[in-house]
Amino acid sequence: MGNDRKLKICIDRDECIGDKACENDAPETFAMDDDDKAMVINPQGDDLESIMVAAENCPVECITVIDEATGEKLYPKE
- The one among 11, 26, 40, 51 contacting ligand SF4 by CB under 6 A: 11
Applying the rule CB under 6 A, the residues between 33 and 72 that interact with ligand SF4 are 38, 58-60, 62-63
Helix (H) or strand (E) holding 52: helix 48-57
Q: Which strands make up the sheet holding 73-75, listed edge to edge?
A: 7-11, 63-67, 73-75
Contact between residue 60 and residue 15 where contact means Cβ atoms under 8 Å apart: yes
User: Which of 2, 20, 41, 44 is in the footprint of ligand SF4 by CB under 6 A?
Assistant: 20
Residues that bind ligand SF4 (CB under 6 A): 11, 16-22, 38, 58-60, 62-63
